[in-house]
Structure 1
Amino acid sequence: MKPVAFDPYGRRRSRWRLPRWLVLLLVGIAIGAGGVVLIQERYLPPRLSASASTALRASFEKAEAERLRLQGALADTTKQLEAAVADKKGLADELGASRDTAERLRKDVAAVVASLPPDPRGGTVEVRAGRFTVDGSALAYDVILTRDRATAGKPLAGVMQFIVAGETARGTETTVSLKPVAISVGSHESLRGSVPMPEGFKPRQTTIHVLDRPEGKLLGMRVMYVK
């Protein structure tokens, strides 16, 4: 066996150490992890428990369901609004057509009235035509009145009263004044209705009086037979 020489002053072998860069890296990782934990504990909201997470998810799902319901309701309301707008347009078109028809009828009526014979007596209001019949104990009438176009801008308010000649139930000749009828006359006016007569009275002819008010100024007059 070969002897080993002892050297009391010889150098010891140096121990193995971690590289400096690795030490710095590990220290940085540790500091970073500690900082994250510190920030999370002190400044960030606390972590939710399992039950809190479940409750939060349930609330979210409920809110989402409500949002979808409201979205569906909004879609239905939008459809209803669109349908209402379409209906309104249709009604507007129908109204326009009705106005056109009414205007044509007005012109037709005006043409018919213009073709009627004039009132022989003339007057502020002319009685252009009339028809009288007995309806039970009432006098039924159809009367057409006109005014001069130059003065027919504003409707003329007044009354129409019938002075009826005939026989009473006992056969006595007499004349009765029936209840006045309120009227308003523009360029022309067609009046239809009935007025009560005394019980058993048999009319023969009627005188039409157009007045500005009951027992007022006479504006027009005409005598016609009762059929």
Structure 2
Amino acid sequence: MGHIHTQITLSPVVSKIFCSSLHAVLLVRRRPPAVTGGGFVVTDREQRVLFSVDGCGIIGASGQLIVRDGDGTAILFIHKKGGVVQALSVNNRWKGYLMDYGEPSKPVFGLHDPKPVLCTTGGDVRVTVEPKGRKRQWDYEVTGSFAQRACAVRSRAGHVVAQIGAKGTMAGKDLYHVVVQPGYDQAFVIGVIAILDNMNGESTRC
């Protein structure tokens, strides 16, 4: 009788290979900017590297981020939309693209955050997954404060997708944890966190 509840619906954004049927505890550690150009590394409890994020110290361009898998292969290219449209817009807009053979290929999600840059309690940071449906303006939202390491990514239906929090006595800006619920795309969650990090002027910013 125990099998009824084991069917987890996968919600891939980057790829279903990054969706787990179990909840995952990921540890995020900031890289020292002097040595490695900044960014952060994501490990599991056994210290195995699952993802890493390169910021402008490595890429050499601000407003651009690269998410890599545990093997160091680039899986997501994220950039902030620039230009006149950006200057006139109420929102900062970010786009995440899948990487194919080292080149950005198809867009998989977009993120809007209100100016001035705040991860406010109003849940104003909104994420849309491609392809966009006409009926919906957003698919996920970020609630709480990323700067204080107390925020969550929630689905449109209100389910918690991932919870970001400080962990233990050593925890803080440089070490925190992310709990991703079963079925959700961990690479996508890390992509959203990379943008929050950059918006808050942290490890991925030069």
Q: Does the pair score TM above 0.5?
A: no
Q: Radius of gyration: which is bigger? A: 1
Compute the TM-score of the two structures, normalised by the length of structure 2.
0.24
Query: Which has the larger helix fraction?
Result: 1
Higher RCO, 1 vs 2 (CA within 8 Å, ≥6 residues apart): 2
Query: Which has the larger strand fraction?
Result: 2
